[in-house]
Chains A and B, each alone.
Chain A
Amino acid sequence: MPPEKSDLLQGTLDMLILKVVALGPIHGYGVSLRIRQISKEVLQVQQGSLYPALHRLEKRGWIEAEWGESEHGRQARFYKLSARGRKQLAAEEMNWRRLAEAVGLILETAR
């Protein structure tokens, strides 16, 4: 029985994608796989959210796409982080940490 899956906040998904893409060029299938693996199956991204998010990020210029060959020799669309995306990721990570810290503080105190 896998652990219960959590829904992701819209902004959070973008940040996670940026983070995963930051690890090196990766295709959409890879992103969904990686998020699942790293989160130990807690977070599962629906394809219906993943691809629009990828394209939105690309449109904003935070990630860039390029056709390449996958590990199985198929043509896949690989995404990699742009310079602007790197800045954005740093900003979002910082925001997230502060938010998580604040939420944590509240949860601690309210205990």
Chain B
Amino acid sequence: MPWWRSFFWKRSREPELDRELRFHIEELTEANLAAGMTPEEARRQAMLEFGGCEQIKEDLRDVHRVAILDRTLANLRAGFRFMRKSPSFSITVILTLALGIGANSAVFSAIDAILLRPLPFPDGDRLMRLAQSNRRIKDPESAVAPVRLEDWNRINSTFQAIAGYYTEDESESSGALPEKLTRALVTPRFLQVLGVSPVLGRDFAPDEERFGGTNAALISDRFWRRRFSADPNAVGKRLRYAGNPITIVGVMPASFLFPERGVDLWSAVPMDAPYGQSRESTWFRVIGRLKPGVTVGQARADLATVQAHLGREYPKTDANLDVSVQPLKETTVGGVRRSLWMLYGSVSLLLLIACTNIAALLLSRAAHRQHEIAIRFSLGASRREVVAQLLTEALLLAVTGAALGLLIAKGAAILFRSAGQYVPRVEEIGLDWRLGLYTLACAVTATLLFALVPAIRATRGGLAGSLAQASRTQVSARNPLQLVLVGVQVALAVTLLAGAGLLVRSFQALGRVAPGFEASHVLTFHVTGNYGETADMKSLTQRIQRTLDSLRSVPGVEATATAATLPGVPTQWGAELKVVEAAMDPSRKIMAESRFVSPGYFETLRIPLLAGQMCRETTGSFNIVVNRSFANTYFAQTSLVGRHLQMPTNGFLPPGEVRGVVGDAREMGINVAPVPTVYWCVSAPMPDPYYLVRTRADPMSMAQTIRRKMHETDPARSVFEIMPLEEQLDDAFAENRLLTVLLGFFALTAVSLASIGLYGMLSYFVSVRRRETGLRLALGALPAQILRHFLLQGLGVTLLGCIAGLGLAAALTRLLAGMLYGVSPSDATTLFGVILMVVALAAVASLVPAFRAARVQPMQVLREE
């Protein structure tokens, strides 16, 4: 019977037991009958003779039960004894595993929280993101007009409800100082789609969702605690937001962070507002909740039909639109999936190295334990029992390590939360029973990985084998397994190091890029503003121009500008353009990125004017400047200055006159080469554009001055997100940077582990072969020969490991391809550097034991015999 069957003892054996004992009683009864007793008497006597049936059964159960329990307990006791007896070995193993399992669990906790779990909404997997895309624009998703959203919601047959939202930052001025609050403006049905209700108060009433109705807001838990100290009477209180009174009708749960972490309040958008009836408005990001049992494919087909219908009804505005439907979870976390799995891959490699390392350590320790194992065999233990004992010891170490590892994972969760602001769902990472189970599974797997082979080898040959293998032999057997284990460690370390090296080189290459604009000494920030202001574009523009002027007057400020987007921070806004003066040539489509910037943008960022004039802000029409790529790509022969460009897909944007050509700047990201770009000169592309200020001194040193100046200019508004442009650019690569740092850390750990493994293996070889070495020296071998022998053994296995590692790296670094800039995944310099580093470390790790071997005193060795 296999041992694990003992656990199922009761189910499988109980009836059998009954039958066996019953048989005995029946036989006794039979015998009594034969002796001439009456049937009742015979049975009574039989029962009497047999004794307590239940007692016997219990004894029998014990026979089966006690064995496994006893053995496990004994093994555990032996394990603790073993740990006490060899503390330094145990601590090494425990710490190595704590690191390996801890790193693994930490990354798994992130993967579990971010990728594996459904979104934190009821039936979160039924939530979809919907978007419209114009077949003639490269911008993948544009916001949806209120009327179209209502059409989708009304006509479709696959969604329970569809809702939309957008956010804006405005000042709340009911306190002593204005405070910037982020407000999400949401359509009716918003909370219904998400399946969430306020913990306090209520959802919006119909009166609060129509034009001219009451202004109402739901507030976030965070804001509720900050402003109202979690007072339940906050509901019903009034705020003054963007100059208008607004009544708090409810408080949302703390876990509700949609659409983004920083939202302080939610308000309903009147869908019947007269200014919101254009089908060309771009207002809402859209989410929908599928009806139960509906697939994404069905929803896509349904909405395609709906939109085709709308296209026939409104050919001018809707004919070119497609609707995309994607799981909300996918659009939320899809961006970090690759990085997370990559991290997981590298920590798993690390754990594998750690296990290999410990396996080698155990193999070399087996020599010390051979005597003990031999004694156990001679006392009648079976091989299985000895292996079980060795595995129990290992498991004890692994579980201790895993417990420490959980602490590391907990620490990492805190680190994740503080460092990973740009990682979605990062607040959901934490310690829970799933992680506990995972860590335990890690410990068990690790145990099998590092302890099974050494245990089986240590018990090979049973009693005779282990007695014969005593360390008295003059020439020890070659130990290819240990060599293989060290080779594997080197190979895995090389793989990790190659990945980290490539990422580091990619960052170096990125640092050498000339982006076409000067990011240093530029401060960026926002000033609160709301979309209500766009009703009067003239006064909005004047307000922003006034702000720019007053900023310009601050001593130490050299230039100021506003822009809808930041240069070098990835944004896509590509659309087809046409020249007003020329007939549309269908064979030569003009595709270009558009940027909306104030005229001071080029001075502030030091983008040079190459031809024509700088743009000016004019009322009624637009000035345009184009970059060199645009001029060269589409107007290499003819002059462009003075012509008018138009964006046919945007009904709100009047044609603009091209005034000049400026230099190419890497607008779409430092790692993206400049593409044809058109700059529309407008100071107020939106109510709260980015402000860019070129300062003479360190930009952050001006932050307070600017804050004060802004408060003087417009006391009701607040300034927020003040930071240098360089920091913004850094943030754009924060995910890559974090990945690089972590991968680098793992790679260095891996290399250290491999070096320690190599050192340990050679030290063991040297100690085992002391006698042999002594003999050889006595027979005339030179110490240099001995040194070379061991050194070459170390370097040989390292080189083989390197070759295997290069093969592995060639296969795995391809995964990095999209993340690298200016360096190919098979970059020879990087790989050569990695090999050089590993070989150098291996040489150091081998030299120490090799020297020790060469210094063996022959006389002393021979005397020991």
Chain A hits for B20, CB < 8 A: 27-28, 51, 76-77
**Interface pair B59/A52, CB less than 8 Å apart:** yes
**Interface pair B23/A55, CB less than 8 Å apart:** no
A interface footprint on B38-56 (CB within 8 Å = 1, 0 otherwise): 0000000000001110011
Q: Is B30 an interface residue (CB 8 A)?
A: yes
Interface stretch among B61-69, B699-707, B737-745? Answer: B61-69
B-contacting residues, A82-106, CB 8 Å:
none
**Interface pair B21/A51, CB less than 8 Å apart:** yes
**Interface pair A52/B19, CB less than 8 Å apart:** no
**Interface pair A29/B23, CB less than 8 Å apart:** yes
Give Cα A59 to B382, complex, Å.
13
Minimum CB–CB distance from B64 to chain A (whole Å) comes to: 7
**Complex partner residue of B27 from A52, A55, A72, CB under 8 angstroms:** A72
Give Cα A46 to B56, complex, Å.
10
Q: Is B24 an interface residue (CB 8 A)?
A: yes
Chain B hits for A5, CB < 8 A: none
Give Cα A55 to B30, complex, Å.
25
Q: Is B60 an interface residue (CB 8 A)?
A: yes
**Complex partner residue of B23 from A56, A59, A70, CB under 8 angstroms:** A70
| Interface of chain A: mostly helix, strand, loop or mixed | helix
Chain A hits for B67, CB < 8 A: 59
**Interface pair A52/B56, CB less than 8 Å apart:** yes
Interface size class on chain B is: 20 to 34
Chain A hits for B23, CB < 8 A: 27-29, 70, 74-77
A-contacting residues, B252-273, CB 8 Å:
none
**Interface pair A47/B60, CB less than 8 Å apart:** no
**Interface pair B63/A52, CB less than 8 Å apart:** yes
**Interface pair A55/B56, CB less than 8 Å apart:** no
Give Cα A47 to B16, complex, Å.
17
Interface size class on chain A is: 10 to 19
Give Cα A75 to B15, complex, Å.
13
Q: Is B26 an interface residue (CB 8 A)?
A: yes
**Interface pair B64/A47, CB less than 8 Å apart:** no
Closest B residue to A49 by beta carbon equals B59
Q: Is B28 an interface residue (CB 8 A)?
A: yes
B-contacting residues, A12-65, CB 8 Å:
27-29, 32, 46-48, 51-52, 55-56, 59
A-contacting residues, B65-83, CB 8 Å:
67
Minimum CB–CB distance from B481 to chain A (whole Å) comes to: 31
Chain B hits for A48, CB < 8 A: 51-52, 55-56, 59
Minimum CB–CB distance from B473 to chain A (whole Å) comes to: 31
Minimum CB–CB distance from B25 to chain A (whole Å) comes to: 9
Minimum CB–CB distance from A46 to chain B (whole Å) comes to: 7
Closest B residue to A76 by beta carbon equals B23
Minimum CB–CB distance from B269 to chain A (whole Å) comes to: 76
**Complex partner residue of A56 from B16, B19, B63, CB under 8 angstroms:** B63
Closest A residue to B21 by beta carbon equals A51
Known A29-B24, A47-B51, A48-B51: A55·B19 in contact at CB below 8 Å: no
Give Cα A98 to B468, complex, Å.
30
Chain B hits for A47, CB < 8 A: 21, 24, 50-51, 56
Chain B hits for A56, CB < 8 A: 63
**Interface pair A72/B50, CB less than 8 Å apart:** no
**Interface pair A46/B51, CB less than 8 Å apart:** yes
Give Cα A56 to B63, complex, Å.
6
**Complex partner residue of A59 from B52, B55, B64, CB under 8 angstroms:** B64
Chain A hits for B26, CB < 8 A: 74
Chain A hits for B52, CB < 8 A: 48
**Interface pair B63/A75, CB less than 8 Å apart:** no
**Interface pair B19/A77, CB less than 8 Å apart:** yes
Among B52, B63, B67, residue most surrounded by chain A Cβ atoms (within 10 Å): B63
Give Cα A76 to B26, complex, Å.
11
Give Cα A76 to B55, complex, Å.
20
**Interface pair B63/A28, CB less than 8 Å apart:** no
**Interface pair B50/A55, CB less than 8 Å apart:** no
**Interface pair A52/B60, CB less than 8 Å apart:** yes
**Interface pair B16/A77, CB less than 8 Å apart:** yes
Give Cα A70 to B64, complex, Å.
26
Chain A hits for B50, CB < 8 A: 47
Give Cα A83 to B8, complex, Å.
27
Give Cα A94 to B64, complex, Å.
29
Minimum CB–CB distance from B833 to chain A (whole Å) comes to: 59
Give Cα A59 to B61, complex, Å.
12
Known A47-B51, A48-B55, A76-B20: A29·B60 in contact at CB below 8 Å: no
Chain B hits for A70, CB < 8 A: 23, 27
**Interface pair B59/A72, CB less than 8 Å apart:** no
Chain B hits for A75, CB < 8 A: 19, 23
**Complex partner residue of A29 from B28, B56, B59, CB under 8 angstroms:** B28
Minimum CB–CB distance from B54 to chain A (whole Å) comes to: 11
Give Cα A48 to B59, complex, Å.
8
Closest A residue to B20 by beta carbon equals A77
Minimum CB–CB distance from A52 to chain B (whole Å) comes to: 5
Give Cα A77 to B24, complex, Å.
10
Chain B hits for A46, CB < 8 A: 51
Chain B hits for A51, CB < 8 A: 20-21, 56, 59-60
Chain B hits for A52, CB < 8 A: 56, 59-60, 62-63
Minimum CB–CB distance from A69 to chain B (whole Å) comes to: 11
Among A47, A48, A52, A59, residue most surrounded by chain B Cβ atoms (within 10 Å): A47
Closest A residue to B24 by beta carbon equals A29
Give Cα A29 to B62, complex, Å.
21
What are 27 A-to-B residue pairs whose CB atoms are below 8 Å? A27-B23, A28-B24, A29-B23, A29-B24, A29-B27, A32-B24, A47-B21, A48-B56, A48-B59, A51-B21, A51-B60, A52-B59, A52-B60, A52-B63, A55-B60, A55-B64, A56-B63, A59-B63, A70-B23, A70-B27, A72-B27, A72-B30, A74-B23, A74-B26, A75-B19, A76-B20, A77-B16
Which residues of chain A have a CB within 8 Å of any CB of chain B? 27-29, 32, 46-48, 51-52, 55-56, 59, 70, 72, 74-77
Q: A28-B24, A77-B19 are in contact. List 8 more A-B contacts (CB 8 A).
A: A27-B24, A28-B23, A47-B50, A48-B56, A51-B20, A59-B63, A77-B20, A77-B23
| Top 8 A-B pairs, shortest CB-CB distance | A29-B27, A55-B63, A77-B20, A52-B59, A29-B24, A76-B23, A56-B63, A52-B63
